[in-house]
């Protein structure tokens, strides 16, 4: 699995997509240099250099054997269509194979609605509620602009005004709960204190 990373360093723990202990298969990662968390949240148009750095990271993943590419930040949904189509073209032309892409877990939001019972909700944890709400208005515009830049040659999506690649999300839908905070718990002597796992050893530091 190839992980396309934003330009951001952090300490990983077990369960994190970049922690080598989280999966029982090989993980490959590549960083889109210059695409910081702030830029990912904003979803602003990439300049020529930014686009080339993003595409270079995709090529690096595929050249190193990635069979599937995911992103490590939910706001990478802004580049889902662009990266999906670029990865497909590159993998097919150079290696004669496919390389599916899921840049953000938000891509799963619509399919998941079909799995919940009437009255149920899907909770979405986010680092920025304001930025997440902005996705709803900005995503179709971003996708449409990307398709225009591409000349419509690679994209298999229908026009963004009708359906932006099937990943448009209406967060006003009552079946979504945004944000979905972690439950607050009072500390107690019996409960103890949470200690993160050590990145290198997988053991709790003393």
**Lowest-pLDDT choice from 6-20, 41-55, 154-168:** 154-168
Q: What are phi and psi of 176, to 5 degrees?
A: -105, 140
Pinpoint the alpha helices (H) of 48-190: 48-63, 80-95, 109-113, 129-149
Q: ∠ CA 152-37-14 to the nearest 5 degrees?
A: 110
**What mean pLDDT is predicted for residues 150-166?**
45
CB 171 within 8 A of CB 132: yes
Is 187 within the bounds of a domain? no
Task: Report d(CA 110, CA 165) in Å as an integer.
Answer: 12
Residue 19: closest CA among 180, 157, 197: 197
Task: Please report the pLDDT score of residue 134 as a whole number.
Answer: 84
Is 6 within the bounds of a domain? yes
Task: Report d(CA 163, CA 23) in Å as an integer.
Answer: 34
Is 203 within the bounds of a domain? no
**What mean pLDDT is predicted for residues 152-167?**
44
Is 52 within the bounds of a domain? yes
For 147, residues 6+ apart whose C-beta sits below 8 A from its C-beta are 81, 155, 157, 160
pLDDT top residue among 9 and 81: 81
Domain ranges, residue 144? 2-177
Instruction: Please determine, for residue 195, whether its predicted confidence score (pLDDT) is greater than 50.
Output: no
Instruction: Please determine, for residue 190, whether its predicted confidence score (pLDDT) is greater than 70.
Output: no
Q: Please give the tally of structural domains in the chain.
A: 1
Is 153 within the bounds of a domain? yes
Longest dimension (CA), the chain: 62
115-124: per-residue pLDDT in tens?
888 888 888 8
Is 191 within the bounds of a domain? no
């Amino acid at each position: 699995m190839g992980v396309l990373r934003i330009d951001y360093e952090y300490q990983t723990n077990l369960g994190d997509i970049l922690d080598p202990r989280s999966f029982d298969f090989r993980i490959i990662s590549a960083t889109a240099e210059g695409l910081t968390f702030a830029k990912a949240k904003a979803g602003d148009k990439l300049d020529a250099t930014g686009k080339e750095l993003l595409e270079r990271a995709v090529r690096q993943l595929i050249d190193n054997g990635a069979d599937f590419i995911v992103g490590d930040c939910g706001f990478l949904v802004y580049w889902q269509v662009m990266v999906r189509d670029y990865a497909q073209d590159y993998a097919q032309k150079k290696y004669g194979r496919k390389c599916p892409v899921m840049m953000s877990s938000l891509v799963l939001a619509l399919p998941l609605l079909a799995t919940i019972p009437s009255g149920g909700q899907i909770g979405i944890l986010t680092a920025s509620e304001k930025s997440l709400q902005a996705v709803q208005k900005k995503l179709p515009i971003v996708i449409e602009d990307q398709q225009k830049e591409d000349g419509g040659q690679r994209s298999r999506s229908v026009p963004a005004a009708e359906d932006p690649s099937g990943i448009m999300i209406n967060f006003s839908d009552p079946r979504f709960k945004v944000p979905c905070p972690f439950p607050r718990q009072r500390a107690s002597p019996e409960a103890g204190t949470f200690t993160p796992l050590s990145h290198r050893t997988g053991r709790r530091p003393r």
